[in-house]
Structure 1
Amino acid sequence: MQILNSSLKNKLHKGQGAAARALNKLPSRVHHTLAQALGYPYHYPDLDPFIKCMMAAQLKQGKIGFIGADPVQSRQAFDRQMQSILSTPTAVKRVEEIRLNLASGNIAARYYHPAPHKKLPLIVFYHGGGFVVGGLDSHDEFCRLMAVHAHAQVLSVEYPLAPEASPQQIIQVCEDALAWAYQHRREMKILKNRIAVAGDSAGGNIAAVVAQRSAHSAYAPDAQFLIYPALDFKSRHPSFFAYKDGLVLTGQDIDFVTQHYVTQHQVALDDPIISPTFGKLKKLAPAFVVTAGHDVLHDEAEIYAHKLRQHAVTVKYVEYLDQTHGFISMTFVSRRAKKISIEMCKNFRKFWDRPRS
């Protein structure tokens, strides 16, 4: 195929964003063909062909998963990967680096406001990355999309990472950040009783845990936005075995995350501080739960949505069957990922705004 010239293949092998964006403009049949040409060995017929192609290129380079035995090396590799796909960020009228002086420590945060002279609700966001990698920069673009398309202020929290920090330390910082937002609600011109928690993957776990722990406090969130969240360290559901190989998040990643975040700190696998599916689910904030069809974490998030409903919590469950874990981090290179990221931000706001009985 002339389209698949050697230059494009070589750039794709190196993970360059420009090559990925160029490839993304080509028809799905080209993506299928290139994945085959690169020797992608897994049979996922319903997976987004572009993602299949990108996974094939990574496997060709020997890249498997994103969390390894060495947390520092994992962070460096993850940061390089994210840097390689950067493009022009979504414009937001106000983006500001701030410090949060919390009882649990002084931490960095990034504040987004799409309409600085208006009162808007606030979303406190916790980034994903297996509790080990990631930060304000890795999730900057999604926070921008959320600010613009959910039409809300966003406070992205730079929490300490495992294994240097324990689950208790990480969760305490994240809960304190929510309390800080509540305490500064007037200065920030936050609409009354309109603070939500949100996060993807590990960040979705943190958002769910914080929502549970703060449920009966003055600063309890008004809504939860949980994007392919990790919710159950104890169980292995069918999706784990179906999608543990050849995708963004692997079974090996889960093992390393468990070692760095849980085992090393001697936390029980069913402790609600790491596995909110075993926590107290009554009287929690309404939850907008998003899953990816090709994701080891898919089933635990779907089960959590059912459990919340059983405890009379209002839930909106949305499933993107052709996507894999981490799609909100692919918006710079994937039109499909960007489209559905915008769609779910808009739909979360509609869910959040709905009349309540």
Structure 2
Amino acid sequence: MTAFNQNLQQLLEKGQGTAARALDKLPSFVQDSLAKALGYPYIFPDLDPFIKCMMAAQLKQGRQGFIGADYEKSRKQFDLQMQSLRNKVTAVKHVEDLRLPLQSGTVFARHYHPAPGKKLPLIVFYHGGGFVVGSLDTHDEACRLLAVHAKAQVLSIDYPLAPEASPKQLIQCCEDALAWVFQNSKQLKVLKGRIAVAGDSAGANIATVVAQRTAQKAYAPHAQLLIYPVVDFKSRHPSFFAYKDGLVLTGGDVDHVTAFYAEQHQVELDDPLISPTYGKLKGLAPAFIVTAGHDLLHDEGEIYSHKLRQQGVALHYQEYLDQTHGFINLTTVSTRAKKYHIELSKNFRKFWDKKNS
């Protein structure tokens, strides 16, 4: 390796965003050779070589996965990791932190409006993080890109986390947030009949559980954007075994999430409250589902899309084969991840407009 690569290796091992951005500028074959030099032991020929390097650096530090037995420590580590990747934020004309006085209690939210004064659709966004970690700040850039490129308002919800909150409490809060948006749609300047739910990973689970629970209610969402969703706590599909080690989300993470979110609150693994793939799917809002090819959740997301289609739900399925779980959180350091997030945001809006017409 050249001296430059050695320096980059040292920086990557410290997990600095500046090093990751420098790595992103290198040709793929250089990234591949760097991943080998860092000792990445997994063979994923089609995985984005940038991701390989990031994972190799993480493994070299002795870190694997992001949710451990100590959930408070996991929260701090995830927050610090996301802070280290921060760069100049995507400009959105109006960004405001709000307190939502909900029936289930006051909750914080962040409102993004790319064209203040103009009536736009609104996306209620629930962040990922295995129901245990994550915040408005960890998903701030993801929401900014979504607002700008979907040309929509985004309201990101700071819902209560597990294990302190049970699935029933967490979902009720998120449903109440959707109801609040519907009740305040005039003040928010929301286009009539244009409220969607969205989220990534655990947030996508929340979005589709809320969509199922509200399907017959006045404030039911008109569309769903589900980015690499968790939809099945009970089953293990081939992608789980293929990608449970050496990537962003691990089998160990899933075990800890299952313990904190389901088992600790005595919720059965096939209860639609946590596993929407077993819920009532008929009559749901049109769904735009995104999966990552190198993700242990890939198959459950794909299966859920087939189930929705079989029940007559309007659906678009988008797969990013070279990506892994969590890629929308890498847009500050990966040109490819940013390109994909912009693309899915634009395509979701086109899909939503078409289904609305």
TM-score (norm 1): 0.99
Tell me the alpha carbon deviations over residues 145-176 of structure 1, each in whole angstroms, 9 at most, x when there is no partner.
Answer: 01100000000000000000000000000000
Deviation track 1:117-171 (CA, whole Å, cap 9, x = no partner) reads: 1100000000000000000000000100011000000000000000000000000
* Residue in structure 2 matched with residue 235 of structure 1 by the alignment: 235
Shift of 1:356: 5.3
Match of 2:288 in 1: 288
Please list every run of 5 or more consecutive structure 2 residues that lacks an aligned counterpart in the other structure: none
The letter of the residue matching 2:195 is: I
For residues 145-184 of structure 1, the aligned pairs below 5 Å read 145-184=145-184
Question: Which residue does the alignment assign to 1:69?
Answer: 69
What's the CA shift for 1:4? 3.8
Give deviations 1:83-103, integer Å, cap 9, x for gaps.
111100000000000000001
Q: Do structure 1's residue 248 and structure 2's residue 248 form an aligned pair?
A: yes
> Distance in 1 between the 2:355 and 2:255 partners?
42
Q: CA deviation at 1:8?
A: 1.6
Q: How does 1:204-283 map to 2 (within 5 A)?
A: 204-283=204-283
CA contact under 8 A between 1:46 and 1:321: conserved in structure 2?
Answer: yes
Q: Indicate the residue corresponding to 2:20 in structure 1.
A: 20
For 1:57 and 1:129, the matched residues in 2 are separated by 21
1:1-357 to structure 2, matched below 5 A, reads 1-2=1-2, 4-355=4-355
Counterpart AA for 1:88: K
CA distance in 2, matches of 1:311, 1:20: 43
Change (3 A) 1:297 1:355: closer
Structure 1 residue 355, shift from structure 2 partner: 4.8
Distance in 1 (alpha carbons) for counterparts of 2:105 and 2:244:
36
Identity percentage over the alignment?
Answer: 72
Deviation at 1:244, TM superposition (A): 0.2
Distance in structure 1 (CA, Å) of the matches to 2:142 and 2:150:
11
1:202-253 residue CA offsets vs partner (Å, 9 max, x unmatched): 0000000000000000000000000000000000000000000000000000
| Residues 4 and 34 in structure 1, CA contact (< 8 A), matched pair in contact too | no
Letter in 2 for 1:251: G
Give the distance between the partners of 1:356 and 1:5, measured in 2 at CA: 51
Residue 5 of structure 1, CA deviation: 3.6
State the distance in 2 between where 1:118 and 1:5 align: 49
Residues in 2 aligned to 1:219 and 1:356: alpha-carbon distance in whole angstroms: 16
The one-letter amino acid paired with 2:41 is P
Contact 1:262 1:268 in 2 (8 A): yes
Number of residue pairs aligned between Structure 1 and Structure 2: 357
CA distances 1:256-296 after superposition (whole Å, capped 9, x unpaired): 00000000000000000000000000000000000000000
Q: CA deviation at 1:2?
A: 2.0
Asked if the contact 1:211–1:284 (Cα under 8 Å) also holds between the matched residues in 2, the reply is yes
Describe the superposition over 1:304-326 as per-residue Cα deviations: whole angstroms up to 9, x where unpaired: 00000000000000000000000
In structure 1, what is the Cα distance between the partners aligned to 2:352 and 2:282? Answer: 19
What code does the residue aligned with 2:345 have? C
Distance in 2 (CA, whole Å) between partners of 1:14 and 1:334 is: 17
Question: Could you tell me the TM-score, scaled by structure 2's length?
Answer: 0.99
One-letter amino acid of the structure 1 residue matched with residue 284 of structure 2: L
Deviations 1:295-348 (A, max 9, x none): 000000000000000000000000000000000000000000000000000000
AA at the equivalent of 1:163: P
Matched residue type, 1:258: T
Q: For structure 1, list consecutive stretches of 5 or more residues without a partner in the other structure.
A: none
Q: CA RMSD in A?
A: 0.8
Distance 1:3 1:329 in 2: 30
Q: Is the 8 A contact 1:12 1:19 kept in 2?
A: yes
Tell me, in whole angstroms, the C-alpha distance in 1 between the residues paired with 2:250 and 2:323: 14
Output the CA distance in 2 between the equivalents of 1:2 and 1:253.
36
Counterpart residue identity of residue 307, structure 1: K
- Tell me if the contact between 1:283 and 1:312 (Cα under 8 Å) persists in the aligned partners: yes
Contact conserved, 2:5 with 2:34, CA < 8 A, in 1? no
